[in-house]
Amino acid sequence: MVDENRLLEDLTGFVAVPSVSADPSREQDVQRSAQLVAQAFGSVGVQARVVTRPGGLPAVIGRREGPPGAPTVLLYAHHDVQPVGDRQAWQSDPFTLTRREGRLYGRGTADDKGAIAVHLETLRCLGPDLPVTVTVLIEGEEEIGSPTLQSLLLEQADTLRADVVIAPDAVNADVGIPSLTVSLRGLLNILITVRTAETPVHSGVFGGAVPDAVTTLCRLLASMTDETGAVSIAGIHPGHCVSTAGPDPADIRTQSTMLPDVEFVGKGSMSQRLWDGPALTVTGIDAPPAAGAANILSPAARAAVSIRLAPEQDPTEALQAVENHIRANAPKGIRVDIEPVAMGSGWRADPESPLTAVAQDVLANAFGNSAVTLGVGGGIPFIAALLETMPEIDVLVTAVQDPYTRAHAPDESVAQSALISATHAQIELLRRLGARYQTTKAAVTQ
C-alpha cells in the first residue's frame, strides 16, 4: 500500500533544498540536492550515484535489477527547480512544504520533485517483488535546458539503457483527470541586447532625432509577432494541425486568470496555439526602472525572449531564423547582440505504440477517471536527447501537475491526491510491464 506520510516526508526533504540551477550562487545547493536524492534511491535498493559532466550540474543515475530477462524501465525526473521570483508573491515560504486545502505548496512540489517522490514510493511499495529492472535518471539542469544531458546519456548509456521510459513531468487535464502526453513543444530562449549610443543623454536636447535603446528594443520585439500575437518570423515552423481535441477556451481563461475582457492571442484552434504551434513570450526586460526614471535616452537595453517551438522544429534552425529576422529588422547601425540561453527539441509520440492503451487504462484505474491524451506546450529536453541515444525506447510522459499548479510561478503547488494516484498508477504499470514479459516468456517455452 502507498504510505502517504512517507511520500510526503520525502517530498518535504527535497523541497527544503533550494536547488535553483539557473542561479550560480545556488550551485552547492544543487550538489546537496543530488546527494539527498542519491541517498533516497539507495535506501530502496537502487545502486545510485551522483555524476556530473564537465561544465554541468549533478545528476543522479542508478540501477536496480529485476527478474532475469525482464524489461528495463527508466524512471526520469529532475531535482533542479526554477528561481522563486518575488518572495512577497508567495503565501508561504517557497522551500517549506505547506499544505492548504488539499494542495502542497513549495518550489518543486510539482515540477519536478513530486515525481521523484512518486518514483521512490513506487519502488518502496514493490519492495523485493520488483517485476522489471529499473534504471533511474534524476537530472539537475532541466530548468536551464539540459546543456550537458546528451553527453551524459552517451557516457552512461550502459547503465541507463531501457525498453521504456516513464517521465512524470507534464500536466494533467485537470485535478483528478489523468493525462498521457503525446506531444511536446521545443524551446529556444535568447537574450537580445540593443545599443544605440555610448552614454545616456538628455531626452529634451536629443530626443526626436537620436534613438533610445528601450524604444528600439520594443520595436524589434514587436516585429517578431503579427497583429494577432502569432509568431511572424520566417523560418519558424507553424506546426502541423493535430487531431487531438484542444482545451475549452473557457477553461483556459479561468485557469490562466485572464482578465474578463482580454482577448486570446494567436491563430487557429486552441490545440494549435497551445500545443502544436510556436509561441513567443518576452519574459524579462533590463531597462531603467519606471520609478524615479530620469529624462534621458537610454543607450542600451536587453530583453529575455522565450520561444516555444513546434514539436518538429529544429531549435538550431529556429535560432538562425530569429537571428536573420532581428538583423533584417534592426535599424541601420544599431548594435544588436543575440545570445542563446537554452535550446531543446520537441517530441511527438508514436501513435502506434501498444503501451499507450495500457498506460491509459492504468491511469484511469488509479485516478478514477478516464485518461485523456493531449499535447503540452512546454518542453522536456530529456525526451529528444534520450531518443537520439536510444531511438527504440518507448516513451510514456505522465503527470502530477494540473492547470492550477503554477509551475515556475509563485505559489507552485500539486494536489496531494495526484501524487497518491500517480504512485498507484506507476506501481500497476510496472507490474503490467513485468506481466507482459512473463506472458511472452511462457508462450515461447511452450
For the segment 94-120, what is each residue's pLDDT rounded down to a tens digit? 999 999 999 999 999 999 999 999 999
Residue 195 has pLDDT above 80, yes or no: yes
What's the whole-number mean pLDDT along residues 127-145?
A: 95
What does residue 311 show for φ and ψ, rounded to 5 degrees? -55, -30
What does residue 351 show for φ and ψ, rounded to 5 degrees? -65, -15
Residue whose cell numbers read 524604444: 215
Residue whose cell numbers read 501498444: 354
Q: What size, in residues, is the chain?
A: 446
Start and end residues for every CATH 3.40.630.10 domain found in the chain: 4-184+346-445
**Predicted pLDDT of residue 415:** 98
H or E element, residue 114: helix 113-126
Nearest to 380 by CA among 362, 399, 354: 399
What's the whole-number mean pLDDT along residues 235-264?
A: 86
In this prediction, what percent of the chain has a pLDDT beyond 90?
Answer: 86
Contacts of 127 by beta carbon, 8 Å cutoff, 6+ apart: none
Q: How confident is the model at residue 439 (pLDDT cuts 50, 70, 90)?
A: low
In this prediction, what percent of the chain has a pLDDT beyond 70?
Answer: 97
**Predicted pLDDT of residue 446:** 43
Range of lowest pLDDT (125-129, 204-208, 375-379): 375-379
23: left (phi over 0), alpha (psi -120 to 50) or beta: beta
Range of lowest pLDDT (48-57, 108-117, 347-356): 347-356
What's the whole-number mean pLDDT along residues 207-213?
A: 97
CATH of 186-239+277-344, one of 3.30.390.30, 3.40.50.720, 3.30.70.360, 3.90.1150.10: 3.30.70.360
Q: Assign domain 4-184+346-445 to a CATH class.
A: alpha beta
Give the 3-state secondary structure of residue 12: helix
Q: How confident is the model at residue 425 (pLDDT cuts 50, 70, 90)?
A: very high
The mean pLDDT of the chain is 94
Residue of 240 and 235 predicted with greater confidence:
235
pLDDT tens digits for range 290-338: 999 999 999 999 999 999 999 999 999 999 999 999 999 999 999 999 9
Q: How confident is the model at residue 142 (pLDDT cuts 50, 70, 90)?
A: very high
Contacts of 229 by beta carbon, 8 Å cutoff, 6+ apart: 265, 266
**Predicted pLDDT of residue 184:** 92
Start and end residues for every CATH 3.30.70.360 domain found in the chain: 186-239+277-344
